[in-house]
Structure 1
Amino acid sequence: MIIPELGEYALILALCLSILLATVPLVGATRGNALWMDFARPLSKGMFFFTLVSFLCLGWSFLYNDFSVVYVASNSNTALPWYFRLSAIWGGHEGSLLLWVLILAAWTLAVALKSRNLPQDIVARVLAVMGWIAIGFYLFILFTSSPFERYLPGFPQEGADLNPLLQDFGLIVHPPMLYMGYVGFAVSFAFAIAALLSGRLDAAWARWSRPWTTVAWAFLTLGIALGSWWAYYELGWGGWWFWDPVENASLMPWLVGTALVHSLAVTEKRGVFKSWTVLLAIFAFSLSLLGTFLVRSGVLTSVHAFASDPERGLFILIMLVVVIGGSLLLYAFRAGQMRSESSFGLLSRESLLLVNNVLLVVSCAMVLLGTIYPLIIDALGMGKLSVGPPYFNALFVPLMAIMLVFMGIGMISRWKQTSLKMLAQQLWLPGVAAVLIGMALTWSYSGELAPWVTLGIVLACWVVLTGMRDQYNRLRHRSEKLAGLFKQSRSYYGMQLAHLGVAVLVVGVALVSVYSEQRDLRMQPGDSMTFRDYTFIFEGSKHVEGPNYTSDQGQIKVLYRDEPYAEMYPEKRLYTARGNVMTEAAIDPGFTRDLYVALGEPRENGAWAVRLQYKPYVRWLWLGGLLMTFGGLLAASDPRYRKRLRPAAA
């Protein structure tokens, strides 16, 4: 079959169209040639079409087990269920890069289709910048990472199988969502570069960029939440975040992207922070590229990382240097044109948002230092060094606590200038109520006031109550309160929902970090263990045959206060193609707690090593992530972003 060759040719055609997209509209915008600028949209459509054709060709090869393709043979198997064969497209380095460029082409197409209200020259420049980014990734795939390379002759008949860690629903949806966020920041970057090229750094530019940035941030939030959820139930250790370098690679652009979302709001509404906003757009996308480099360069050891040779990492590193260096050079040339259109006082919403932006960027810098410092030490031949959770927790947690305090104050403050007396009048009641409610909730849950738990719940209450106070302030002068609720903008309610998600996340982090309980023990049939009102009775194990694995499945009966409650079936799986042994935890989920059981190694006389865990409020972590995601998408759907707005002259 020539399907893989068709995929390769389609990718080459997409590269050719991306070269045209990167040059023709950009030259047209520079010369004021409307015809050349009009080529931007059809070229974007063509680039997406041929990239999609290439992706579908690879999907066909996986679905029909074409093991003459090296990438398919390395990441699939005849016994693999069809849905895992399709998700195996992005189960390795080459295919995940093809997914990356497909999503980049999709974002480019979306901008082309949804930018009818933007000036022609701005659209041309934005799409041209997207074309330049696409050129880099198409070249990367075609010259170093083609997923269509063939075995000639003598290809394997069964395939090596997909990594068992990736044979899971979470890994079907996690990478696409994460890439949607990563690549989405390319749109923010493209708008920033287009604004620098045109000299139009004003409220209109911020309004155009804002919904795209918010959608990208929402997808990245969802991707990180899904990754945490997958690690929790699939890796068998029961944790949700380990400050793994690859986890940090996704957290860093999220932190800067969060700052960018808020900075764009200030630039749009008040015409200030222009240079800061442009820098954040550049850094958000640059950190996305840095994450790609860390994952694919071979410099990291992680369950999330792709095992790639250093030459591929060098290609991305060169691309990273070009993107950062080129954009910062352009920024330096245009910096003199970026003047604020208004001023603001020391105590104002602008100042408080700036403080939180600085805290987010400092947090990102701290994570970046902890992630790359061991790599630098190793490269200099100064030995091996590990930077673990104690470093990150000691610095990150206090910074986030301070940020939550300013988040609540910023909700109540006013643009341009806020009096200290007004803030005191508005905030004393939410502040006192947050302390009292937070302490009462902590005491009622645990019978003690553990410092970090109390602080976390107090801060979560503070964020919620200040948001409610702001809502009350917006409605108190309206004669019809209920009607007023429906007159608030979607962006406002999106903000409120996202902030609520932050509060829910903080509660989950505080409680699960301090009050989780774990028992590691040897259990043979008939043995039991009781803690937290639950009794776990081990009833033995049985052999189970799966589609491409064999399994020893434990049978554990759970009693709640001596009454039958549930049956749990943890597994120890052997994937026959590669001989990998995997732990499949059994989880009984609940709104206020999870019961978590994992099998260790078999012992004599039918006994097993068993890990039992009680995880309070762990689901609130992902509930908070979902609320933030929905809040971002709701804010981005605000109709005012689709209204025509012409920028001021440069």
Structure 2
Amino acid sequence: MIAELGNVTLVIALVLSILLAIYPLWGAQTNNPTLMSLARPLAIGLFVFTLIAYIALTHSFIVDDFSLSYVAQNSNSKLPIYYKITAVWGGHEGSFLLWVLIFAIWTVAVALFSNGIPEKMLARVLSVLGMVSISFYLFMLITSNPFDSMLPFFPVDGRDLNPLLQDFGMIIHPPMLYMGYVGFSVAFAFAIAALIGGQLDSTWARWSRPWTIAAWAFLTLGLALGSWWAYYELGWGGWWFWDPVENAAFMPWLAGTALMHSLAVTEKRKVFKSWTVLLAIAAFSLSLLGTFLVRSGVLVSVHSFASDPARGLFILGLLVVVIGGSLLLYALRASQLKSVGRYDLFSREMMLMGNNVLLCAATVVVLLGTLFPLVHKEIGLGSISIGAPFFNQMFTLLVVPFVFFLGVGPLTRWKKQKPSALKHQLLLAFFLAFSAGVVVIFSYDEYSQLALLGITMSFWILVATVLEVRQRVASPLKDETTYQTLKKLTPSHWGMVFGHVGFAVCLIGITLVSNYEKEMDVRVKIGQTLQMADYDIKFIGVESIKGPNYTADRGIFDIYKHGILINHLEPEKRFYTVQQMPMTEAGIHTTLTRDLFIAMGEPLKGGDWAIQLYYKPFVVWIWGGAFIMSIGAAFSISDKRYRIKKIAQFTRRTKSKTTSAANLEPSVAKESTL
């Protein structure tokens, strides 16, 4: 009964999405307030019925309803209750239902928290979201229904959740990643709504910017959590593999980073309008491309879902419609996207443009590196592999100018800046950054040019950021303390500071772990002591344990430094009885400056064991930097400029200025907009 309820609510949600796509847009085009007023209740209804469907599927997992094919394939009666709940998104059908639910959450959030946006614009935005959601519900009901029944015959017990997914990372990583993925649909909807209505001034950028920053923050956390999960769960000691599915999530992040900065320029300086619209289209299109790569079966990856070709063709058709339709609408409105602001070659606008070009180039590199092997094989030229060396080399070439612009950009002024005015600051920043790089690198036994370059670039960002803040507070008012001046800096500005600092911290972690990590694959006897860096690692023995749905051999290791016991690690080699699948649970001792990582291999003759030891300097800084960047995003979103009342006031002021300019002589009006 519960399963049937879920099916019915999905059909109702499909009907509501069709109504949401038609009536508000119709009302906006015909200036009908009644039709436009339907947008919010339809969005709320869409969310409510999708939520009911999701709760129904979750209930089926909790009560072990193996009459549902999806539950039987992804759960088991012995599965712990918390994994039964997360098993809802452990396979293709359920994860796509989670995707649609999150899409509905973003839709209803726009409906409820956009009171400062004109009714016509909001109606168009929600209508665009409704159009996109139609395809999602159709895809789910036609090819990927999680409520498909196996009656009258069904198994007594389920096949169990993939052991790789029976982990804490499964609880937090997919929802966070999907929140970012799907969140870019809001920026896309604002851009398309602005194109439809011809309202291509800077106001739509202000409306969509906080939503874009929120989506970017979720995607940043999602990528970081996925990297951390793979690091400790797969037992290989790595944090990024350039796997095609990892790349599929990374591309929207790169495009979203460019979009976030482009929106800031469009909002403040009324330039980069065409660039911003195209980036909004690209960010969401790349999210859909990632969905296609993961769910079509065209790629083989530990992250991908096994799918039939019909699903891939459906998503591919959606990609064609979204990208083709968006670009067609853009072409029709391109003449209205002229920028009115002016800026010189050396200005903050040009610094941001340079970084956006580099981010787009990086996106193209990842796109080509991911898709080229697939295309090469499909056209009959055989199989080729593009791996980490290609991506690492290309990103090294791109990140150097990117970091240069990232440091110089905040120090420059809008419109124009004399290079000589920044000479002393830039020389000071370079000297301090290079000195810090030399000190850090020579603290290690081996010299590495790439490590020196990476640390110098990281401190270049940090020093430049400090100089920028100092520049802001260098001229306080009379009787005003530096602290009072700092308090005047807006949350949006602090968001930029945290974002840049977080990126620098992340870059430090990447540089040091990539150049100075150590690895040992050894055969070890019980009682034997191994040495790794400054640590002695003693193998105490192995004990057998039994979990709820697995058995395991647990290794026992004591970690000593200078003869003092500092930690006790217990890595496991598990065997999941239902799926007959072995898994490695690493033992990791983490400090702020390094990780000691132990993974159990296979048992050998004579009671010996094969184990892998890793020493990972500053690896935790990679994820710490991502967390700091997300904090920066939270600061930016909290800026009072993006509160409902402020947005409404800004909209009224913009309309008033536009009306005044229109009443002037053409030449005077042109000057007033510069």
TM-score, shorter chain, exceeding 0.5: yes
Tell me which amino acid in the other structure corresponds to 1:499. Answer: H
Does the residue aligned with 2:615 lie in a helix, a strand or coil?
strand
Does the residue aligned with 1:446 lie in a helix, a strand or coil?
coil
Question: What corresponds to 1:451 in structure 2?
Answer: 449
CA distance in 2 between partners of 1:561 and 1:315 (Å): 61
Deviations 1:67-104 (A, max 9, x none): 11110110001111101000001000000000000000
CA distance in 2 between partners of 1:178 and 1:448 (Å): 38
Q: How many residues align?
A: 648
Tell me which amino acid in the other structure corresponds to 2:449. Answer: P
Question: What corresponds to 1:475 in structure 2?
Answer: 473
CA distance in 2 between partners of 1:212 and 1:285 (Å): 13
Contact 1:76/1:161 (8 A) holds in 2: yes
CA distance in 2 between partners of 1:133 and 1:634 (Å): 30
CA RMSD of aligned residues (A): 1.0
Deviations 1:415-438 (A, max 9, x none): 000101112133221121111122
Deviations 1:101-140 (A, max 9, x none): 0000000000000110000000000000000110010000
Does the residue aligned with 2:126 lie in a helix, a strand or coil?
helix
Tell me which amino acid in the other structure corresponds to 1:271. Answer: K
Question: What corresponds to 1:90 in structure 2?
Answer: 89
Question: What corresponds to 1:516 in structure 2?
Answer: 517
CA distance in 1 between partners of 2:638 and 2:50 (Å): 28
Question: What corresponds to 1:57 in structure 2?
Answer: 56
CA distance in 1 between partners of 2:217 and 2:403 (Å): 19
CA distance in 1 between partners of 2:395 and 2:433 (Å): 22
CA distance in 2 between partners of 1:566 and 1:268 (Å): 52
| Aligned positions of 1:95-494 closer than 5 A | 95-443=94-442, 445-478=443-476, 479-494=480-495
Does the residue aligned with 1:595 lie in a helix, a strand or coil?
strand
Shift of 1:630: 1.1
CA distance in 1 between partners of 2:446 and 2:598 (Å): 28
Shift of 1:413: 0.5
CA distance in 1 between partners of 2:602 and 2:445 (Å): 37
Question: What corresponds to 1:554 in structure 2?
Answer: 555
CA distance in 1 between partners of 2:447 and 2:259 (Å): 36
Question: What corresponds to 1:46 in structure 2?
Answer: 45
Shift of 1:596: 0.4
Tell me which amino acid in the other structure corresponds to 1:514. Answer: N
CA distance in 1 between partners of 2:634 and 2:327 (Å): 30
Contact 1:259/1:360 (8 A) holds in 2: yes
Shift of 1:401: 2.0
Comparing 555-564 with 169-178, greater Cα deviation is found at 555-564
Shift of 1:480: 2.1
CA distance in 2 between partners of 1:299 and 1:319 (Å): 16
Does the residue aligned with 2:624 lie in a helix, a strand or coil?
helix
Shift of 1:448: 4.8
CA distance in 2 between partners of 1:342 and 1:351 (Å): 13
Tell me which amino acid in the other structure corresponds to 1:634. Answer: F
Unmatched tracts of structure 1, length 5 or more: none
Shift of 1:40: 0.2
Mapped pair 1:504 → 2:502: no
Does the residue aligned with 1:555 lie in a helix, a strand or coil?
strand
Identity rate, percent: 54
Contact 1:182/1:220 (8 A) holds in 2: yes
Tell me which amino acid in the other structure corresponds to 1:259. Answer: A
Question: What corresponds to 2:662 in structure 1?
Answer: none
Shift of 1:565: 2.1
Question: What corresponds to 2:666 in structure 1?
Answer: none
CA distance in 2 between partners of 1:198 and 1:439 (Å): 56
CA distance in 2 between partners of 1:111 and 1:322 (Å): 24
Question: What corresponds to 1:601 in structure 2?
Answer: 602
Shift of 1:527: 1.8
Tell me which amino acid in the other structure corresponds to 1:431. Answer: F
TM-score by length of 2: 0.95
CA distance in 2 between partners of 1:357 and 1:558 (Å): 46
CA distance in 2 between partners of 1:641 and 1:438 (Å): 39
CA distance in 2 between partners of 1:533 and 1:283 (Å): 48
Deviations 1:20-42 (A, max 9, x none): 00000000000111110010000
Question: What corresponds to 2:663 in structure 1?
Answer: none
Contact 1:349/1:415 (8 A) holds in 2: yes
Shift of 1:588: 0.8
Contact 1:540/1:606 (8 A) holds in 2: no
Question: What corresponds to 2:621 in structure 1?
Answer: 620
Question: What corresponds to 1:22 in structure 2?
Answer: 21
Tell me which amino acid in the other structure corresponds to 2:139. Answer: F
Does the residue aligned with 1:132 lie in a helix, a strand or coil?
helix
CA distance in 2 between partners of 1:91 and 1:531 (Å): 37
CA distance in 1 between partners of 2:370 and 2:217 (Å): 24
CA distance in 2 between partners of 1:520 and 1:480 (Å): 58
Contact 1:551/1:573 (8 A) holds in 2: yes
Comparing 371-380 with 391-400, greater Cα deviation is found at 391-400
Tell me which amino acid in the other structure corresponds to 1:466. Answer: A
Does the residue aligned with 2:265 lie in a helix, a strand or coil?
helix
CA distance in 2 between partners of 1:200 and 1:449 (Å): 56
Shift of 1:154: 2.1
Unmatched tracts of structure 2, length 5 or more: 660-674
Contact 1:540/1:607 (8 A) holds in 2: no
CA distance in 2 between partners of 1:155 and 1:448 (Å): 62
Contact 1:18/1:47 (8 A) holds in 2: yes
Shift of 1:552: 0.8
Tell me which amino acid in the other structure corresponds to 1:475. Answer: V
Shift of 1:563: 2.0
Contact 1:574/1:581 (8 A) holds in 2: yes
Tell me which amino acid in the other structure corresponds to 1:453. Answer: A
Question: What corresponds to 1:527 in structure 2?
Answer: 528
Tell me which amino acid in the other structure corresponds to 2:462. Answer: V
CA distance in 1 between partners of 2:532 and 2:91 (Å): 42
Shift of 1:447: 4.5
CA distance in 1 between partners of 2:543 and 2:413 (Å): 65
CA distance in 2 between partners of 1:567 and 1:89 (Å): 35
Deviations 1:218-264 (A, max 9, x none): 00000000000000000000000010000000110000000000000
CA distance in 1 between partners of 2:399 and 2:34 (Å): 50
Comparing 384-393 with 478-487, greater Cα deviation is found at 478-487
Contact 1:439/1:449 (8 A) holds in 2: no
Does the residue aligned with 2:613 lie in a helix, a strand or coil?
strand
Tell me which amino acid in the other structure corresponds to 2:210. Answer: P
